[in-house]
């Protein structure tokens, strides 16, 4: 049996452990946030280049163009343009890497990706019109 005098010591130790765990959890949370900020900065640098690479190809007329448009449209509006992952398999390696970078960038970016491009919304509407025409 515990005595009344030992209860405060148990309570103090428990409180100290909880405080240490809270501190460790906060440190882990801050470390995760720092890592996410660093990743966001990296992707902001290379993501815009990858977006531009896909957009340039998407404006042409080829099978690669079709798939690049669909990937960009999926990032733009995945409800209207769901991404079929087999599209990644048919792209050249450099376009595959650009597509994966753009997809990852879309997870971290603070704004919609088309907003990083001048007239990006109009460009995406043009891609949507091309793809809708191809579906008919």
**pLDDT tens-place string over residues 49-101:** 999 999 999 999 988 999 999 999 999 999 999 999 999 999 999 999 999 99
pTM as predicted: 0.74
1 located within any domain: no
Q: Based on the structure, what is the number of domains in the chain?
A: 1
Torsion angles phi and psi, residue 17, rounded to 5:
-60, -45
Q: Which tokens in the block code for residue 8?
A: 């405060």
Helices (H) and strands (E) counted in the chain, each on its own, are 5, 0
pLDDT score, position 71: 97
- Kindly state whether residue 2 falls inside one of the protein's structural domains: no
User: Is 68 part of any domain?
Assistant: yes
Is residue 120 a part of any domain in this protein?
yes
Domain that holds residue 88: 8-135
Residue 117 forms part of a structural domain: yes
Closest CA to 103 of 93, 123, 88: 88
In this structure, what is the dihedral angle of CA atoms 10, 13, 15, 21, given to the nearest 10 degrees?
-140
Say if 92 falls within a structural domain. yes
Q: What's the whole-number mean pLDDT along residues 93-113? A: 92
Answer yes or no: is 3 within a domain.
no
Between the CA of residue 73 and those of 7, 23, 64, 115, 125, what are the distances in Å?
Answer: 63, 43, 14, 13, 9
Average pLDDT over residues 30-51: 85
């Amino acid at each position: 049996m515990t005595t009344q005098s030992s209860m405060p010591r148990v309570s103090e130790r428990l409180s100290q452990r909880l405080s240490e765990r809270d501190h460790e959890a906060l440190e882990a949370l801050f470390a995760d946030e720092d890592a996410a900020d660093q990743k966001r900065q990296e992707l902001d640098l290379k993501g815009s280049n990858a977006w531009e690479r896909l957009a340039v190809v998407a404006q042409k007329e080829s099978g690669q163009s079709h798939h690049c448009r669909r990937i960009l449209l999926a990032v733009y509006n995945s409800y209207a343009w769901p991404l079929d992952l087999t599209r990644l398999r048919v792209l050249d390696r450099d376009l595959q890497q650009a597509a994966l970078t753009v997809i990852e960038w879309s997870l971290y970016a603070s704004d919609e990706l088309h907003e990083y491009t001048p007239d990006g919304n109009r460009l995406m509407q043009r891609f949507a019109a091309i793809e809708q025409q191809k579906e008919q």
